[in-house]
Copies of this chain bind each other. A is one copy, B any other.
Amino acid sequence: MDRERGHEDSDHLQLRAWLRLLTCTNLIETRVRGGLRETWNITLPRFDLLSQLHRAGDDGLTMGDLSRAMMVSAGNVTGLVEALVGEGLVRRTTSAADRRQSRVRLTQAGKRGFEAMLPEHERWIDEAFAGLDRGDLKRLLELLAKLKQSAKAAERGGKEAA
């Protein structure tokens, strides 16, 4: 038996990693949120929604697509889309094939507006990660990919209960 082994169970590496992950996310999110508000007077969730639509292209996304992509509840998406429609940044049409669905797209104003914000948004992110070199970034990406898979697996495990 390895004398040192006992210690391994009580150094709480997972918990420490989780807390540090949260701290990093909070720091960066606070920076981005503040920048978006000060520079374009837009909120982070609205920016995020525009971003998903921009990535999706001309066909747009359904409400359900948005909910999954943004990892928020369907009710939340309803409110955000309403707000953005009100601001003229987003357009919403009922699907002809399935009248329960609606399809959400950027308007021209929404596309132009989002593309204007994009470079500075990326600059804020780049600044936050400036202390990491390319090797660090690649290792971090790999570890986070692993964590993402692991967390997804745990999520299912928790729901289905074996």
Contact = CB atoms under 8 A, between A and B. Distances in A.
Interface in A104-162: 122, 124-132, 134, 136-141, 143-155, 157-158
A129 B27 contact: no
A22 B27 CA distance: 12
A14 B125 contact: yes
Contacts of A17: 129, 132, 137, 140-141, 144
Main SS at interface, chain A? helix
Contacts of A124: 154, 158
A22 B128 CA distance: 14
B24 A155 contact: no
B153 A130 contact: yes
A128 B141 contact: no
Give the number of copies in the complex.
Answer: 2
B146 A136 contact: yes
A150 B20 CA distance: 13
A154 B130 contact: yes
Nearest to A145: B20
A40 interface: no
A151 B154 CA distance: 29
Interface of A: 8, 12-18, 20-31, 34-35, 71, 122, 124-132, 134, 136-141, 143-155, 157-158
